[in-house]
Amino acid sequence: MIPQDHLRNFCIIAHVDHGKSTLADRFLELTHTIDARQMTSQVLDSMDLEREHGITIKARAVRLHYTADDGETYALNLIDTPGHVDFTYEVSRSLQACEGAILVIDAAQGIEAQTLANVYLALEHDLVVIPVINKIDLPSAQPEVVIEELENVLAIPHEEVLLASAKEGTGVPEVLEAVVQRIPAPKGDPDAPVRGLIFDSHYDAYKGVVAYVRLAEGTLHAHDSVRLMASGAESELLELGVFRPQLVPVETLSAGEVGYVATGLKSVRDCQVGDTLTSAEHPAPQPLPGYKSAQPLVFAGIYPINGPDYPLLRDALEKLHLNDASITFEPESSVALGFGFRCGFLGLLHMEIVQERLEREFDLELIASAPSVEYLVTLTNGRGQVRVDNPAELPSPGDVEEIAEPWVRVKIVTPNTYIGTLMELTKLRRGTFESMEYLDQQRVLMQFELPLAEVIVDFYDQLKSRTQGYASMDYEEIGYRPERLVKLEILVNGEPVDALSMIVHREDAQAQGRQLAERLKKLIPRQMFEVPIQAAIGSTVVARETIGAMRKNVLAKCYGGDITRKRKLLEKQREGKQRMKRVGQVEIPQEAFLAILRTDEQP
Amino acid sequence: MAGEATARLRSSRGNDAGQAAIGARRATEAASPREPAARCIAERTPRPPVALYVHVPFCVSICPYCDFVVHAGRAARGPGARIEPFLAALHAELDLRADALAAPPARSPLRSVYLGGGTPSLLAPRDVAAILDHVDRRFGIAAGAEVTLEANPGPDERGDLAGFAAGGVTRISLGAQTMDAAELRRLGRRHSPQDVLVAIGVARRGGLASVSVDLLYDVPGQTRASWRGTLRAILDAGVDHVSAYALTLDDPDAEGITGPAGDHLPTRPGARAWRDRARAEQDDDRAADLYADADGLLAEAGLRWYELSNWARPGHESRHNLAYWRHEPYQAAGPGAHAFDGVATRRWNAARLDRYVAALTATPPALPPGGVERLDHETLEAEEAILGLRLREGIEAAVAARPAVAEALRWGSAHGLVEDAGDGRVALTLRGRLLSNELFERMLP
């Protein structure tokens, strides 16, 4: 067993793409945790999706055995954290299991919005921050500029900053040495009653819920009976172990250590992240302070393209929820899309990733309705408030006293040449400018307040395209504000298409209605008859387009005796139609439901 | 209709050259009675082919919209031309295909031979005559049979039309496409409108009994005025048959039919770019107008529509194409060519000329690579209705009554796509012809 003063618990925080996972890979190699033969790039990003997107979605933990310059061997618990704003919640959970954090900054990119957010989080948790400027091998690296930024913006003294190239391995041993030297060992009495914070979990078909635990006090033994203090669930441990990074059983875990416990519990609800694990025989009197549970910010309906897949979708969501407790879902039905689920996500990227995981891991074909935020609707005559996360369910105007929507503070780090275009973009999105400060001679940090609804639709893409990819952003909630909001409905051939409803600001309603109707006209193929598309607020039509009746669809080509090809083309046409959704008499392709996600704003 | 055609074509054989070439042929009745369509498909037995398609894969140059199996440039002309090895392989294939059949006296000879391409008119008349003689020896060609050869109108492409007639060709199909010079250039064609008129005249004088032209509509830049001009010019020149095809810019690569064993060649990058540009200039509304214009003008001139894309003077309907639509058995030879056994099996040769030649010129010759599909009963029933409805005569009551077909017809009737054609037969309306895919997809299993 490793003495407590030879333990170090730390995580790596970084903006997307600044080299966090590559640095983690070097740590694994340097400490011989994984031999070179098994080394795949970005070992800790084990999901295909993570490697493809180049992002970390789930926090991972690994224990490294490191022999320091003082000749002593230390056990370093590294917790890899996600780098995207949607997963800030995961980061903050991971931070709570650590005493220190390595802050990785790209030597060419400098401080980004996410860097700031992560540093503030780390400081909130009283962590020791080790700043590492990475990618110094790049020709465009400007470590001196980044050092100056760190000093100006985050008050990090330049002598604390380490320089490294995780790709080439330079400077990496110095980083590990700094982990040992600068980050304090965990505290906590190994003889006290057991208290362990559950900072993550996954579900295993054989071991039940496997909880990732940071032991604050006490010592756990392999066959102890444990209790979850919040849920009250008890279980006899199936296994106790550490991450190498695969699960390796150990006999004991004691105060300060990070490891896992296989609980055998079948429901994640019994073993929620943030709960405190204690001994069933000698329970601790008080749980550890837990976490706020993650609040979904973005909501969308998810529907199977093939109606009969509905039970499969339900099973898939339940399974996914076992590993990602931040997803919420409840059944809903839509006239246009049939039976599906209203799902809550941490953000748009999270939504995209969940949808992709459902499609890939469960082989489902899905269609998602337009994302929405959760509105707070005050009803007339003092009948209280309701929360509405589906525009189709907004009470009728007569019942609505007021609609409030969530606002966020958006931080954008950008080269100063793009200030104008970003002011314009945020203004178009009903935002207000708050402040601006220079990080260095070229780059500024801008702060805006914006309705969240305006941020989740296409804002990030617009930001990237208007700044040639140079700007980065981060946002945090700042509460609800009442606004003049109305429901914009789309009627196709006279029938309202619930999945195309959206809640918009009254002043933008007509313009948005017109835009959407135009876009739908292009996306909905001609039918056997003329199809009007209308955008309406209540009974007032604010925009109208007409799709003319189809006049020609004929295989009038000389295919010779090649009847097979003719038939295949017909089959393909029919398959295309089967993937469409039927509203009344009209077949609407899936792209039409995504039309709402795009805007026509040109940078 | 078929009887008329037979009589006319038979009488046209009176010219000496034709007589000489087919002198050895037996005077058998050309048109054997059609098998009743409604006869249960499951009871069908394989029948010998009534028609033969021969694919000649050479052109002087390749048009960017075309995705037939074609080789051009040095492959088609000059010392490096691949025509000779192709012909050797073709003769070998004809023998192998015929080996599988009973000898002519034991079965009906072919009612139609069709040399398509490509540009079969690039072949020398003696080569065409040799092919036809070979076909006649091994398959039998009925007296009065329809023998079509596709030709391009340009002076360097149309070949010796009188020579072909002397060798046994009775019908010429000219790839005119349009009579508008600018449209022809846009389509990458080598000929001028004047060349089309000349070619028609030469064909007539050369003794070809039936002259057909192919036209294209929904061409980039085409207007109703230019299209009507094309139709009038063609009609003034006096043709017996018009095929008007919508310019259809397919993507065979995306269809997955251009692989090593595919029946199409991969699309060239230049052609792909051309198609992308042209597609942007196509318009279904215009296409529908142009189709209706064609139908009206051709009918006024005495050419009646008898198939979605085909119009003819009575008696000049292409018997070869009718065999396709009527689910009759047809044999095929040449790269990319398709055959049907009249029961449930479709077969095709792969597109690659080198492999085609290699297999057939080996010792002993082997059949070239290709593909085969066996259709299940439901698909056959649907196909029969779909192909039958392409024709003016439509489908008979028993076919229309099949459940999947009947359901689609009810829908089609509600949308004005089909009508009663007498005797319980069902046929497409003009609107139905233009929207036939909407109806047909509903019939597939």
A221 phi and psi angles, rounded to 5 deg: -115, 155
Lowest mean pLDDT among A253-257, A352-356, A415-419, B185-189: A352-356
**Bond preceding residue A245 cis, omega within 30 of 0:** yes
Tokens of residue B299, six digits: 């009918």
User: Which chain B residue has the Cα nearest residue A557?
Assistant: B245
Min Cα distance B79 → chain A (Å) is 31
Min Cα distance B218 → chain A (Å) is 11
Which of chain B's residues have a Cβ under 8 Å away from the Cβ of A574? Answer: 441-442, 444
SS3 A351: helix
CA distances, A501 to each of A300, A519, A522, A600 (Å): 12, 14, 18, 18
Which of A547, A552, A574, A579 to substitute to test the interface with B, most B CBs within 10 Å?
A552
Are A570 and B285 in contact (CB < 8 Å)?
A: no
Within A429-499, residue ranges assigned H as helices are: 452-456, 459-466
The residues that bridge with B340 in the sheet, in sequence order, are B330, B346
Min Cα distance A311 → chain B (Å) is 26
Q: Nearest CA to B265 among B276, B278, B250? A: B250
Tokens of residue A320, six digits: 């996914």
CB atoms within 10 A of CB A292: 9
Which of chain B's residues have a Cβ under 8 Å away from the Cβ of A528? Answer: 415, 435, 438
What pTM was estimated for this model as a whole?
Answer: 0.70
Q: What pLDDT does B1 receive?
A: 36
Residue A221: which residues within 8 A CB-CB, separation 6 or more?
A: A240, A251, A252
E strand spans, A373-515: 375-379, 385-388, 400-415, 432-438, 443-451, 472-483, 485-492, 495-496, 502-505
d(CA A368, CA A357): 13
Are A551 and B244 in contact (CB < 8 Å)?
A: no
User: Which chain A residue has the Cα nearest residue B214?
Assistant: A558
Q: What is the DSSP string of B334-403?
A: STT-EEE-SSSEEEEE-S-HHHHHHHHTSSS--PPPEEEEEPPHHHHHHHHHHHHHTBTT-B-HHHHTSH
Which of B441, B442, B444 to substitute to test the interface with A, most A CBs within 10 Å?
B441
Within A451-559, residue ranges assigned H as helices are: 452-456, 459-466, 506-523
How do residues A452-493 score in pLDDT, each as one tens digit?
A: 999 987 788 889 889 888 888 888 889 999 999 999 999 999
Q: Nearest CA to A545 among A504, A516, A581, A517? A: A517
Are A555 and B288 in contact (CB < 8 Å)?
A: no
Q: Nearest CA to B414 among B444, B372, B442? A: B442
Which of chain A's residues have a Cβ under 8 Å away from the Cβ of B250? Answer: 557, 569
Min Cα distance A390 → chain B (Å) is 36
Are A550 and B309 in contact (CB < 8 Å)?
A: no
Are B288 and A569 in contact (CB < 8 Å)?
A: no
- Looking at residues A303-318, what average pLDDT do you find? 91
Q: What pLDDT does B26 receive?
A: 36
Min Cα distance A557 → chain B (Å) is 5
CA distances, B224 to each of A252, A531, A548, B411 (Å): 87, 26, 20, 31
CA distances, A215 to each of A9, A89, A181, A487, B438 (Å): 11, 20, 22, 50, 67
Which of A551, A575, A579, A587 to substitute to test the interface with B, most B CBs within 10 Å?
A551
Cβ atoms of residues B243 and B306 within 8 Å: no
Which of B115, B440, B444 to substitute to test the interface with A, most A CBs within 10 Å?
B440
- Identity of the residue in B255, B337, B436 whose CB atom sits nearest the CB atom of A554: B436
Q: Measure the CA angle with vertex A504, ends A501 and A505; round to 5°.
A: 160
Are B373 and A560 in contact (CB < 8 Å)?
A: no
Q: Is the dihedral of CA A140, A145, A147, A150 positive or negative?
A: negative
- Identity of the residue in A560, A564, A570 whose CB atom sits nearest the CB atom of B373: A564
- Looking at residues A565-585, what average pLDDT do you find? 87
Which DSSP state fits A194? P
- Kind and range of the H or E element at B94? helix B83-99
Cβ atoms of residues B249 and B279 within 8 Å: yes
Which of chain A's residues have a Cβ under 8 Å away from the Cβ of B284? Answer: 526, 550-553
Mean pLDDT of chain A: 87
Measured in residues, chain A has a length of: 603
**Bond preceding residue B364 cis, omega within 30 of 0:** yes
d(CA B335, CA B368): 8
Are A562 and B245 in contact (CB < 8 Å)?
A: no
User: Which chain A residue has the Cα nearest residue B244?
Assistant: A556
Q: Judge residue B155's burial from the number of C-beta atoms within 10 Å of its C-beta, 0-12 exposed, 13-18 middle, 19 or more buried.
A: middle
Query: According to CATH, what is the number of the domain B14-325?
Result: 3.80.30.20
Which DSSP state fits A288? P
Which of chain A's residues have a Cβ under 8 Å away from the Cβ of B120? Answer: none
Q: Is the dihedral of CA A504, A505, A510, A511 positive or negative?
A: negative
User: Which chain B residue has the Cα nearest residue A553?
Assistant: B435
Cβ atoms of residues A146 and A133 within 8 Å: yes
Strand order from edge to edge, sheet including A195-204: A234-236, A225-228, A276-279, A195-204, A208-217, A258-262, A239-243, A247-249
How do residues A254-280 score in pLDDT, each as one tens digit?
A: 999 999 999 988 877 788 778 899 999
Cβ atoms of residues A326 and A346 within 8 Å: yes
Cβ atoms of residues A169 and A26 within 8 Å: yes
Which of chain A's residues have a Cβ under 8 Å away from the Cβ of B115? Answer: none
> Cα B283 from chain centroid?
25
- Identity of the residue in A554, A557, A563 whose CB atom sits nearest the CB atom of B324: A563
d(CA B440, CA B443): 5
Min Cα distance A594 → chain B (Å) is 23
**Bond preceding residue A301 cis, omega within 30 of 0:** no
Tokens of residue A178, six digits: 């700094």
Are B309 and A556 in contact (CB < 8 Å)?
A: yes
Burial A392-413 (b: 16+ CB within 10 A, else e): bbbbeeeebeebbbbbbebbbb
The residues that bridge with A66 in the sheet, in sequence order, are A74
Strands B141-151 and B171-177: parallel
ipTM summary value: 0.87
User: Which chain A residue has the Cα nearest residue B247?
Assistant: A557
Min Cα distance A584 → chain B (Å) is 16
Lowest mean pLDDT among A95-99, A593-597, B196-200, B310-314: A593-597
d(CA B353, CA B336): 9
Tokens of residue A220, six digits: 């756990």
The residues that bridge with A239 in the sheet, in sequence order, are A262
Q: What pLDDT does B37 receive?
A: 46
Are A573 and B340 in contact (CB < 8 Å)?
A: no
Ordered by start, the domain boundaries in chain B are: 14-325
Tokens of residue A551, six digits: 């006049």
Residues of A with CB under 8 A from a CB of B: 526, 528, 548, 550-558, 560-565, 567-574, 577
- Identity of the residue in A552, A563, A569 whose CB atom sits nearest the CB atom of B387: A563
Which of chain B's residues have a Cβ under 8 Å away from the Cβ of A579? Answer: none
d(CA B225, CA B229): 6
Tokens of residue A520, six digits: 């739908």
Residues of B with CB under 8 A from a CB of A: 53, 68, 116, 214, 243-246, 248, 250, 255, 257, 263, 284-285, 287-288, 291, 308-309, 324, 330, 332, 337-340, 346, 348, 373, 379, 383, 386-387, 415, 433-438, 440-442, 444
- Looking at residues A563-579, what average pLDDT do you find? 89
Min Cα distance B283 → chain A (Å) is 9
Min Cα distance B435 → chain A (Å) is 5
Which of chain A's residues have a Cβ under 8 Å away from the Cβ of B263? Answer: 562, 565
Could you list the pLDDT tens digit for every one of the 445 residues in chain B? 333 333 333 333 333 333 333 333 333 333 444 444 445 666 777 789 999 999 999 999 999 999 899 999 888 888 888 999 999 999 999 999 999 887 766 788 999 999 999 999 999 999 999 999 999 999 999 999 999 999 999 999 999 999 999 999 999 999 999 999 999 999 999 999 999 999 999 999 999 999 999 999 999 999 999 999 999 999 999 999 999 999 999 889 988 899 888 899 999 889 999 999 999 999 999 999 999 999 999 999 999 999 999 999 999 999 999 999 999 999 999 999 999 999 899 999 999 999 999 999 999 999 999 999 999 999 999 999 999 999 999 999 999 999 999 999 999 999 999 999 999 999 999 999 999 999 999 999 9
d(CA B389, CA B394): 4
Are A557 and B435 in contact (CB < 8 Å)?
A: no
Are A561 and B332 in contact (CB < 8 Å)?
A: yes
Min Cα distance B20 → chain A (Å) is 30
Min Cα distance B107 → chain A (Å) is 22
SS3 A325: coil
Q: Nearest CA to A196 among A317, A288, A304, A99? A: A288
